[in-house]
Structure 1
Amino acid sequence: MSDATLTPPAKAERRWLAPTLLALVIVAALYLVVVVYATGEVLLALTLLVIAALAVWIYSAKATYAFRYLFPGIAAALVFVVFPMLYTITIGFTNYSSRNLLEFPRAEAYFLSDTFRAEGSSYEFSLHPAGAEYRGRLVDAESGAAFQFGPLALAADRRLEVAAEPEPAGAAALPEPVTLKELIGHQKALKGITVALPDGRKVGMAGLREFAAVQPLWVKRPDGSLKNQENGSVIRANPVSGFFETEAGEKLQPGFQVGIGWDNYRRIFTEARFREPFVRIFVWTVLFSALTVLFASSLGMLLAVLLNWDALRFKGSYRMLLFLPYAVPGFISILVFKGLFNQNVGEINLILSSLFGIKPQWFSDPLLAKVMLLIVNTWLGFPYMMVICMGLIKAIPADLYEASAVAGAGPLTNFWSITLPLVLKPLTPLLISSFAFNFNNFVLIALLTGGRPDFIDTSVPAGTTDLLVSYTYRIAFQDSGQNYGLAAAISTVIFLMVAAVSLVQMRFTKVVEDEKR
């Protein structure tokens, strides 16, 4: 409906509709930014704020009308590509690990929330259901006096002080107490409750079925240090190591996150325990990626040439059979091959044993394990290359082959002089992307070898079949230290390496094309 056919009230309503919707979107976006910022994700909140600002500008300004259709893709790239990359780079400059998980305020609060049992009476404790909430009952172990508190909802993420009242004589009996299993489930929440008795004393949970007088174990002093009220010792936060340390230098858990600059990158290239496996794994990663691309593309191109042979019968059936490895999910094929290569019961070793009397150690011999990986990855990759090459060969003008036949050239001459040059040029970007994909082919390594057999001369988890990406995963999640900061630094280095190799390959391809011209 055009504006000319609208009544004045309808025109006014339509004029105010767009600003109203825009205002609602802005309010919702700002609310989301505030919620994300409140959780401590400053970088993500900043990213969402930038996206919201761009959205308001693009969808409200006439000069940016053409970008309205591109913006959803740009926003998705910022959230799912740029933000993870920046977040990973940021972590690489910290000591973030399983020993340094918390931010400093949370680590400090952990110490300040710790308590110790002080002198005073102890009370038998039982927890009773009260509808959707609970009531607590305390009984003095010496005098037998009983107190009740509640009802209250138990939440593990809050600290609460409640008042207890004397249990009146003849009061209705409380329901049966909760089971031990349920009590254990509420233990964390109960530890956050302080009960104030009628005489002013305060007690806290000292055991699953006991409350007693407790005091904070640590108190914060004016200089920021923490003093132990039980033994008088003092600990101080070390902003360099990321730990609270005693006067003797002992580091206490939990640690906290601090910025350490380029230390993680320095460790990769200067510490022998990281440098030696890193260099060896990098060399193998490049070889694995290059050989996979070479074998898969060569096999795929060979099959594509054969399937384009006019005299070949049943070509459709062959195409379908050869494409099946690509149609089957990769992880299923990998697990099937893991069984086929089994040393004792695998079909491959059974055949080799029957024919030649040998049983190769596919998973324990480093060289054979690498050969196995190349075989499996070639099997997974050649169908896609075959399909691409078949399409490219179909696009080659038939006149070229007819002229070649008139000149007396054979099939090999046709391949090297016509087919390969015309197919290789459009295939080059795909080969580069395939190299980059296999550079980070984590699934194959994780499912088939797990990076093993391991190096026997390294103190960090590293295997002879590890790629850089699986080596990073083992450092981040499988090592006892779980060093996320170091893993993030390695990930950043991998990204730069892949980008550099891809740029060099693209530049070299361009130079070759220029020379041919």
Structure 2
Amino acid sequence: MPDQTTTGPSVVSDLGTGGSAAGAGGDGPAGGRRRAGGEYRPSHARSVGHGFFIKLVLVGLVDAAALYGVLAAAAAEQWGIAAFSAFVLVVVTWTYFSKRMLPAKYLVPGLIFLLVYQIFAMAYTGYVAFTNYGDGHNSTKQDAVAAVLAQNEVRVEGSASFPLTVVDADGTLGFAVVRDGVAEVGTAEQPLAPVEGATVTDGKVTAVPGYDVLSFADIVPRQSEIIALRVPFSDDPTQGSIRTQDASTGYVYTPTLVYDAAADTMTDPVTGTVYRPSATGNFVSADGVTLTPGWRVSVGFANFTQFFSDSRINGPFFEILAWTFAFAFLSVATTFALGLFLAIAFNDPRMRGRKIYRSLLILPYAFPAFLSALVWRGMLNPRFGFINEVLLNGAEVPWLTDPWMAKISILLVNLWLGFPYMFLVSTGALQSIPSDVIESATMDGAGKWRVFRSMTLPLLMISVAPLLISSFAFNFNNFSLIFMLTGGGPNFVGTPIVVGHTDILISMVYSVAFESGLKDYGLASALSIMIFLVVGLISYVGFRRTRTLEEI
């Protein structure tokens, strides 16, 4: 009986000749090396393909962007951003050129975006919530001191005027003047200093090496920037700075306040009034006069308690809080009820043309929500809207100007926008319910309502309940509908922030941060954190409750 372990004639022939199979130098197939016992080990040398060069180019682009971020952040002394950019550079390069990091190649991009757009944003919002960051307190104390000194300046009485030329060097504005027959140039950071090679015509500088002389057409679009520019007269800050109002003549201005760095005080040398730093991030005198701008300081939980302690805010705040919960709950309840009703109706095999009806019903879902809200806003206009003028024969129903009618209008419009989604979800869930379960209940004598209440709805909620929770969270922060339809109005009267009866918490955040005149980012961030905690708690409890449905 032949030996079953033999390699066969073809293999013996190949090995015996030592030619094409082994190759020169005893190499095995595909360039491998022969071990003892006739085994071959593949060579680790691989030919470089097109994929390697594509990877090299893509990783090189990412590394170039990260290196640029490192250099730009280091130049601006943003060491945290510089360190993170360097970290991204090292991690990306190591991951995509290491043979041991195959799983990380799929995880690293998502983790980087998670850190930048989620973790960092949440952490920074939390930091801002405990500060007074906003208009008047948007920078450091050093910047605030410089701004206060610059804003409190008066022209030196009897000082000479200087023919002035506005110059530009790589986007940085400066002034060129003639002083004692010598052309001098300076910027906001560099005091006036003589410059060689400048051209002076009729006592005015007309050309400066390294600078572009701005013409009248160049000055007009940058007029506000030029008027705000202050060029130090010399290295001594007490000698003031050169300013201009017409971009052609400069005057010497000196500050009316003197900053003492050792004592950390501002002093008015004329009146002798002393301004000292306060806990609120401003220089304040003994009689309560405050200098602006201030600087960012920590205020603890003051932003959180202001919604409850300030009598001008807590009333509208609690009304907006209650309306937010009501709006989110009623939006989910009404859209789900209508969507489920239509899904059950069109799930009946006896109905003809179901595909056409279903296609028509999802049309509101196909249009962008903010465009639909704008269309409804025009249709609900009390005086010129289609509903009042055409459907109601010229009636003036205050759909968007009365507090209660505006809320009803929002719910109706959101019902029109949201029921197609619930219709699609309910249709899919209904079609996944086993038909034999429903048939068994019917054969046992259960009526249609009993079957729906005890069988269809519990089985439906297993798959739909998580979507209802996510829909509640979405409507809790449905900023676009409120902003586009009513703008939060009609507004409350007598509040320090611009908020209205139809505002929800997220639109209140926008109003506090951007629309209330004095932008208060700290207060807005505190409210954002409160929204996050509320939505997170509701989602957690809701998902815990839905686990009980899985036992059915």
Please state if 1:353 is matched with 2:392.
Answer: yes
Quick one: structure 1 residues 229 and 49, their matched pair in 2 at CA, closer, same or farther if it must change by over 3 Å?
Answer: farther
Which residue of structure 2 lines up, in the alignment, with residue 340 of structure 1? Answer: 379
Q: 2:139·2:296 contact (CA, 8 Å) conserved in 1? A: yes
Which residue of structure 1 lines up, in the alignment, with residue 337 of structure 2? Answer: 298
| Aligned equivalent of 2:291, options 247, 252, 258 | 252
Q: 2:167·2:214 contact (CA, 8 Å) conserved in 1? A: yes
Quick one: structure 1 residues 203 and 311, their matched pair in 2 at CA, closer, same or farther if it must change by over 3 Å?
Answer: closer
How far did residue 40 of structure 1 move? 6.2
Quick one: structure 1 residues 130 and 411, their matched pair in 2 at CA, closer, same or farther if it must change by over 3 Å?
Answer: closer
Structure 2 counterparts to residues 18-57 of structure 1, below 5 A:
29=66, 32-33=69-70, 35-36=72-73, 39=76, 48=85
Partners of 2:44 and 2:100 in 1: how far apart? Answer: 29
Q: How many residues align?
A: 496
Match of 2:275, SS state, is strand
Structure 1: where are the runs of 5+ without partners? 140-144
Which residue of structure 2 lines up, in the alignment, with residue 142 of structure 1? Answer: none
Partners of 1:284 and 1:49 in 2: how far apart? Answer: 47
Please state if 1:471 is matched with 2:508.
Answer: yes
Q: What TM-score comes out, normalization by structure 1 length?
A: 0.81
Quick one: structure 1 residues 27 and 127, their matched pair in 2 at CA, closer, same or farther if it must change by over 3 Å?
Answer: closer
Q: 2:200·2:206 contact (CA, 8 Å) conserved in 1? A: no
The CA deviation string for residues 263-304 of structure 1, in whole angstroms up to 9 with x for no partner, is 111212222223222222111111111111111111111111
Quick one: structure 1 residues 418 and 344, their matched pair in 2 at CA, closer, same or farther if it must change by over 3 Å?
Answer: same
Question: Whose Rg is larger?
Answer: 2
Partners of 2:462 and 2:333 in 1: how far apart? Answer: 15
How far did residue 331 of structure 1 move? 1.1
Please state if 1:397 is matched with 2:434.
Answer: yes
Please state if 1:125 is matched with 2:170.
Answer: no
How far did residue 318 of structure 1 move? 0.6
Which residue of structure 1 lines up, in the alignment, with residue 264 of structure 2? Answer: 224
Which residue of structure 2 lines up, in the alignment, with residue 429 of structure 1? Answer: 466
The CA deviation string for residues 145-181 of structure 1, in whole angstroms up to 9 with x for no partner, is 755445x8xx7x6434222789889999958983287
How far did residue 186 of structure 1 move? 6.0
Match of 1:364, SS state, is coil
Structure 2: where are the runs of 5+ without partners? 1-28, 33-41, 208-212
Which residue of structure 2 lines up, in the alignment, with residue 67 of structure 1? Answer: 104
Structure 2 counterparts to residues 232-381 of structure 1, below 5 A:
232-238=272-278, 240-350=279-389, 353-354=392-393, 359-381=396-418
How far did residue 19 of structure 1 move? 12
How far did residue 431 of structure 1 move? 0.4
Please state if 1:161 is matched with 2:192.
Answer: yes
Among all aligned residue pairs of Structure 1 and Structure 2, give the percentage whose two residues are the same amino acid: 32
Please state if 1:98 is matched with 2:135.
Answer: yes
How far did residue 327 of structure 1 move? 0.4
Q: 1:159·1:192 contact (CA, 8 Å) conserved in 2? A: no
Alignment-mate amino acid for residue 161 of structure 2: Y
Quick one: structure 1 residues 440 and 63, their matched pair in 2 at CA, closer, same or farther if it must change by over 3 Å?
Answer: same
Alignment-mate amino acid for residue 165 of structure 2: L
Partners of 1:42 and 1:130 in 2: how far apart? Answer: 30
Quick one: structure 1 residues 309 and 177, their matched pair in 2 at CA, closer, same or farther if it must change by over 3 Å?
Answer: closer
Alignment-mate amino acid for residue 475 of structure 1: V
Q: What TM-score comes out, normalization by structure 2 length?
A: 0.77
Partners of 2:30 and 2:300 in 1: how far apart? Answer: 61
Q: 1:128·1:174 contact (CA, 8 Å) conserved in 2? A: no
Partners of 1:301 and 1:146 in 2: how far apart? Answer: 87
Partners of 1:366 and 1:292 in 2: how far apart? Answer: 18
Which residue of structure 1 lines up, in the alignment, with residue 542 of structure 2? Answer: 505
Which residue of structure 2 lines up, in the alignment, with residue 204 of structure 1? Answer: 242
How far did residue 333 of structure 1 move? 0.9
Which residue of structure 1 lines up, in the alignment, with residue 118 of structure 2? Answer: 81
Quick one: structure 1 residues 448 and 173, their matched pair in 2 at CA, closer, same or farther if it must change by over 3 Å?
Answer: closer
Partners of 1:58 and 1:286 in 2: how far apart? Answer: 46
Q: 1:204·1:212 contact (CA, 8 Å) conserved in 2? A: yes
Partners of 1:294 and 1:423 in 2: how far apart? Answer: 15
Partners of 2:202 and 2:230 in 1: how far apart? Answer: 31
Quick one: structure 1 residues 388 and 219, their matched pair in 2 at CA, closer, same or farther if it must change by over 3 Å?
Answer: same
Quick one: structure 1 residues 36 and 170, their matched pair in 2 at CA, closer, same or farther if it must change by over 3 Å?
Answer: closer
Higher relative CO (Cα under 8 Å, sequence separation at least 6) belongs to 1
| Aligned-residue CA RMSD (Å) | 4.2
Partners of 2:312 and 2:88 in 1: how far apart? Answer: 42
Q: 2:230·2:241 contact (CA, 8 Å) conserved in 1? A: no
How far did residue 410 of structure 1 move? 5.2
How far did residue 320 of structure 1 move? 1.0
How far did residue 424 of structure 1 move? 1.2
Q: 1:296·1:381 contact (CA, 8 Å) conserved in 2? A: yes
Q: 1:454·1:463 contact (CA, 8 Å) conserved in 2? A: yes
